[in-house]
């Protein structure tokens, strides 16, 4: 059976976080920078102003999160926390918004598609929020794994070819 390369295993949490943050950057642009939202002629100018802020904020924060996630390996825990907080905050806000009377996930001239009966924007908000949380959890566990167990993986051939010189790692 093929095993994923060590670098993929070690970075699987950060890869999930990367996907969640890229979605946080791109999805608002794709969904709202158009005639159904920001350029909707029925929207008053102040609503458009807030629409631009509503698109610009996740784009800026998502890029900030990605930079912190991959920039400094010495601050990996902080980068992981920021990269999780941004999509969880942005997409997680969809859920309390559903509880406010008079709000809706779509309007009659611009209906939102459905996935398994759930509005597509709410479905993807759920997926992205869950991916960010899972990515943070996986990355946290990878960082907290004892160093000797990582060395043992390498010694067993799942990492670098250099064997672990200690008795702890070699299982003796």
Distance CA 134, CA 155 (A): 28
For the chain, the structural domain boundaries read 10-145
Using alpha carbons, select from 72, 94, 76, 74 the residue that is nearest to residue 24: 94
pTM across the whole model = 0.79
Q: Which of 62, 50, 53 is nearest to 89 (CA)?
A: 62
Distance CA(79)–CA(76), nearest Å, equals 5
Per-residue pLDDT of the chain (172 residues; tens, 9 = 90+): 666 677 778 899 999 999 999 999 999 999 999 998 999 999 999 999 999 999 999 999 999 999 999 998 889 999 999 999 999 999 999 999 999 999 999 888 888 999 999 999 999 999 999 999 999 999 999 888 776 555 555 566 655 545 555 555 544 4
């Amino acid at each position: 059976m093929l095993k994923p390369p060590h670098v993929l295993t070690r970075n699987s949490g950060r890869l999930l976080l990367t996907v969640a943050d890229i979605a946080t950057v791109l999805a608002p642009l794709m969904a709202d920078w158009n005639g159904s939202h920001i350029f909707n002629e029925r929207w008053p100018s102040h609503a458009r102003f807030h629409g631009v802020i509503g698109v610009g904020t996740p784009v800026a924060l998502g890029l900030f999160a990605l930079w912190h996630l991959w920039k400094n390996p010495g601050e990996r825990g902080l980068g992981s926390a920021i990269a999780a907080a941004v999509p969880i905050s942005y997409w997680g806000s969809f859920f309390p918004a559903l509880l406010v009377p008079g709000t809706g996930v779509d309007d009659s001239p611009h209906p939102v598609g459905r996935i398994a009966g759930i509005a597509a924007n709410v479905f993807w908000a759920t997926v992205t929020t869950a991916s960010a949380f899972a990515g943070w959890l996986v990355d946290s566990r990878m960082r907290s794994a004892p160093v000797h167990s990582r060395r043992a993986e390498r010694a067993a051939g799942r990492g670098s070819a250099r064997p672990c010189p200690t008795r702890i790692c070699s299982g003796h």
